[in-house]
């Protein structure tokens, strides 16, 4: 591993770290915020998965999460959204290829050689964090924005017992029925739609739900509402009687101004779940 930067932040340290990834067959970069309490021993972990076109840096610098995480004594992990490098396949469109990994393990060419984001986030990066940093991996929670909200919800529901809580900001809620999903799932996983279903939060909610609390925030003025399909996930949560909240926030759009406005509530929501374990 190589530490690219370390900055004091709210009494803790914000690191940016690069490492060779066996899953993605390239160097991967992530941000890690360690609160002051990490100097004395392992602390709980909150993951933030970012959206289309983003890197590890967007939420790390724009969400304002460090202040609230420091107050609660929890760490933050900001992974990248896709593999990177000159040898990694890409597409001219912003919503496919680099910056658009969709948190799946690609089976189709040219993506399969590097786009193994599910494996990377569900196994490789957690193992690396557990081995090298003062993190209490028995206390994990996860959140994300847009494509990252899709990733957070699917990881949480498909890995029962891993996360104490899950939240999302404007998630891509029903990708198997949306142009933000069908295009990418076809490219990465092929045309057999049965292989898409484990990566659809609405379908997972209908089938199994989540074994903990859920918090979803969606802006009413989001310019991508038709692509996100929040009503599908809301209906699935209501039908399953899933513990949690689905909140439509008046006047908010898809930007990080929206995320920063509610970040404190999300961090506190996860801290309550993490410290109750």
Contacts of 177 (CB under 8 A, 6+ apart): 202, 229, 232
Catalytic residue among 150, 222, 234, 266: 222
DSSP assignment letter at 210: -
**Does a cis peptide bond (omega within 30 degrees of 0) precede residue 53?**
no
DSSP code per residue over 106-121? --STTTTTT-BHHHII
Q: Which two tokens stand for residue 159?
A: 């890995």
The active-site residue out of 146, 165, 167, 178 is 146
Known catalytic residue at 146: yes
Through-space distance between the first and last CA atoms of the chain, rounded to whole angstroms: 31
DSSP sequence for 179-199: HHHHHHHHHHH-S-GGGTGGG
Phi, psi of 126 (to 5 degrees): -60, -40
The reply to whether 254 belongs to the active site is yes
Is there a catalytic annotation at residue 222? yes
Catalytic one of 199, 254, 266, 270: 254
What is the spatial distance between Cα 148 and Cα 150, in angstroms, rounded to a whole number? 5
Q: Which residue has the tokens 């609660």?
A: 72
- All residues at 6 or more sequence positions from 51 whose CB lies less than 8 Å from its CB, including other chains: 58, 81, 144, 145, 146, 147, 148, 149
- Output the DSSP codes for 39-57: GTS-EEEEEEE--TT--TH
Residues designated as active site? 146, 222, 254
């Amino acid at each position: 591993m190589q530490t690219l930067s370390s900055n004091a932040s709210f009494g803790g340290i914000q690191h940016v770290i690069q490492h060779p990834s066996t899953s993605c067959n390239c160097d991967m970069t992530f941000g890690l915020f360690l609160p002051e309490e990490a100097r004395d021993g392992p602390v709980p972990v909150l993951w933030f998965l970012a959206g289309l076109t983003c890197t590890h840096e967007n939420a790390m610098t724009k969400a304002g999460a460090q202040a609230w995480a420091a107050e609660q004594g929890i760490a933050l992990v900001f992974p990248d959204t896709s593999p990177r490098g000159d040898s990694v396949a890409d597409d001219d469109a912003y919503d496919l290829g680099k910056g658009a990994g969709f948190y799946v393990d690609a089976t189709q060419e040219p993506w399969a050689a590097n786009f193994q984001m599910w494996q990377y986030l569900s196994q490789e990066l957690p193992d690396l964090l557990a081995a090298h940093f003062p993190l209490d991996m028995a206390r994990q929670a996860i959140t994300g924005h847009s494509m990252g909200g899709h990733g957070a919800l699917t990881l949480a529901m498909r890995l029962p017992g891993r996360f104490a809580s899950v939240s999302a900001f404007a998630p891509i809620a029903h990708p198997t029925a949306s142009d933000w999903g069908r295009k990418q799932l076809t490219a990465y996983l092929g045309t057999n739609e049965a292989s898409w279903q484990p990566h659809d939060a609405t379908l997972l909610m209908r089938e199994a739900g989540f074994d903990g609390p859920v918090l979803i925030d969606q802006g009413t003025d989001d310019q991508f509402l038709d692509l996100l399909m929040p009503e599908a996930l809301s209906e699935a949560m209501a039908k399953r009687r899933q513990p949690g909240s689905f909140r439509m926030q008046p006047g908010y759009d898809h930007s990080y101004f929206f995320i920063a406005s509610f970040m404190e509530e999300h961090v506190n929501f996860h801290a309550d779940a993490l410290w109750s374990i």
